Chains A and B, each alone.
Chain A
Amino acid sequence: MIFILDTCTINNLLQIDLIDNDEDYELEYDYLDKINQVFKIKLSQKNYDELKNTFSKNFSDGNKIKFIRNYMSKNIPSYLNIVDNVDFDSSLNFIKKVCPKYKDEDNGELHSTAYALYLNRYESSLAFQTYFITDDDEAIQDFQDIFRSNFLGEVFTTIDLLLILSIYEIISYKNVMDFAHNLKKQYIQNYTNVLNEIQTLQKKNLPTKEIAFLSKLHEDIHHLDFDKVQKNMEKSEYISIKRKQTSIDIFLKNLLNEDLKKVTILDKKIEEIKSKYWTTDKI
């Protein structure tokens, strides 16, 4: 089996696995290494370039960034292979023709799909043996058909990949579910930060109206009503609160830039696994 990993998958596999031993970091399971021992990991050049620009996105801790950077320098280049550019471009152009949405767009997901096609048509990789792993739901919708129609394989999520590892008994089912839970925690980090900030502020000696305003804000965020949240950010109470605690504005703006749909999708995947995936533990 060949697994072509999207940028987001590599980032998730590394970031969720990172443990902090008093500022000394390590990977608890090193999933990439485990996958690579049994299967083949491949990466498109485009994804490799994206990875270099995005790996530190969720970190502010310099030591964490340093650790991940070192790990990646040591391991990721081995997933790259030399491709014939002319042949690769042919694959890429075919995908663009089939998916007009990508006519003028150029991203890692597109290149990963093109790479899968290239491997099958030009480097004789076997049918149904190439899997594209991504947590980008839009990409899954866009490219699933190409994988199936061209007998390449499938488009899976990172959780699916880990479930495959558990079938091969490389990791446990519990491990997979813990990963899913921790991934969800990461996805909702900004959401959690804002709510915590509001709760901290409400313990301070603020005027009643500002305390009531924070409760309203908390409720709107809890219900994911971000239109209301944005309207509330224009109110005088918010401006006054922001002056007293600037961090709330930073967290709120981060949250509003977040795409929380991925959390709902992840929740659905978790439910699907619980109801439809069978392990011998369920006997």
Chain B
Amino acid sequence: MNYETLGLKENPFRLTPPLDPKEIVWAGMSEVKSKLEKRIELGIRTRPSRIILNWGSYGSGKTHASLYFSKTDRLQELTTKLDAKPSKSIKITLPRSSSDIVQEFLRSFLGQYSLEEIYSDFQKLKDEVGEEQLVLMITNFSNDTVIGEVFKTLINTEDDKYFNILKNYIYGDSTKSTLNSLELPYGLKNDEQVANFIATIINCVTYEKQHYSSFIIWLDEFEDIDTIKKILADRFTTFLRQFIDKTPNNLMLFLNFTQKAFMDREDLSISLGEALSSRAKLKIDFENPTTDEAIAYVKELSNIYLIEDKELPFEDDALIKYVVEHMGNLTTRKINETFSIILEMALIEEKEKIDQTFIDSIQDEIIAWEE
């Protein structure tokens, strides 16, 4: 659909992230953004690792926040402002379908922070601190001779073929030939080893904030911990606890949790287990926007996509308010869906300006409309 007739480069109210994730934008929700950035800045400036609960209803923007800070330049802007080294941020969705939930988490981690990138960062670290210091860090942080050997092998690998053997090993190939090539006694199977493996990476790349000032993991759809088999849920929370214990510095773990009826914060505490829930004391509420906040959101988002010298397609603020006031409970998702439908209908009806008469004529098409 061509939104130019409405003065827009494209539909501002996307229902899915853009193809180029750098184009993800933030509009409205200034209070939430400010709270998130304060936490991120604290993580950049100080050492202790933290777990933060992002708590909100379905469609309140938690996943969007994860993508915004992980994929765009905003995190870089924050570190530059603080005159700090860059931060690394990745989003992982809670594994749900695999019977080996910890291995699935590891693969997701490596999907977002590839072994090639890890290798490159370790090479830079080797240049920054020297090989001897790096080996000492690896020995200290790995807490496991086999994991230690894996990393020592990684930093000295220059051969593509050998790198691929190492990659296969990390991804779960522990055949005799792979183990023999690497001179390792066993594979990366055990949950604690995986915790040691990921902790070693993060501890090394954020050591004294010399390479990265902090490492941020957004664990999305965390409310699903309650829907997976108990034995897997217990296994995963135990793994998380071990991983966090082994990464005492420079890690920020955001748990995105969608509120559901019947399940409240107490229930989450039971799902997390005492050890983890006692560490997850910080909470950021992704509250539903007020009418005024919703209007500001619509205007801000539309202006980002406005073609130069054009006016917004909405007649005036009163029109936006008219729509928002008929949407019942507001969430950013619902606002996006509603205004997407309005823009689509305007294009179909070849309208260049959207007024109340038009809105009234398409009320039946607007799913969220309430009298």
Residues of A within 8 A of B (CB): 19-22, 177-178, 181-182, 184-185, 187-188, 191-192, 195-196, 199, 203, 208-209, 211-213, 215-216, 218-219, 222-224, 237, 263, 267
Residues of A within 8 A of B337 (CB): 208, 211-212, 215
Supposing A185-B226, A208-B340, A212-B368 touch, asked if A195 and B333 sit within 8 A by C-beta, the answer is no
Q: Are A192 and B260 in contact (CB under 8 A)?
A: yes
Could you jot down 9 A-B contacts, CB within 8 Å?
A20-B229, A181-B270, A185-B226, A208-B340, A209-B365, A213-B367, A215-B367, A222-B57, A263-B262
Interface residue B103 (Cβ < 8 Å from any Cβ of A) = no
Whole-angstrom distance from the CB of A91 to the nearest CB of chain B?
A: 38
B310-350 residues with Cβ-Cβ distance < 8 A to A are 328-329, 331, 333-334, 337-338, 340-341, 344
Question: Which of B221, B261, B344, B368 is the one whose CB lies under 8 Å from A216?
Answer: B368
The winner among A19, A178, A208 for most chain B CB atoms within 10 A is A208
Partner of B261, one of A185, A191, A215, A237: A191
- A199: chain B residues at CB < 8 Å are 58, 221
A234 to B7, CA, bound (A): 37
B279 cross-chain contacts in A, Cβ below 8 A: none
Residues in chain A near residue B344, CB distance under 8 A: 208
Residues of B within 8 A of A212 (CB): 334, 337-338, 340-341, 367-368
Chain A residue numbers with a CB within 8 Å of B15 are 208, 211
Give the contacting residue for B267; candidates A19, A21, A184, A219; CB below 8 A. A184
B34 sits at the interface (CB 8 A): no
The complex places the Cα of A86 from the Cα of B333 at a distance, in Å, of 66
- Apart from A196-B224, A212-B368, list 12 A-B contacts with CB within 8 A: A182-B230, A184-B263, A187-B262, A191-B262, A192-B260, A195-B260, A208-B15, A212-B341, A213-B367, A216-B367, A216-B368, A222-B261
Q: How far is the CA of A224 from the CA of B135 in the complex (A)?
A: 57
Option from A20, A177, A215 in Cβ contact (under 8 Å) with B270:
A177
Our pick among B16, B260, B333 for the contact of A215 (Cβ within 8 Å) is B333
B57 → chain A closest CB, angstroms: 7
Quick one: closest B residue to A237, CB to CB? Answer: B367
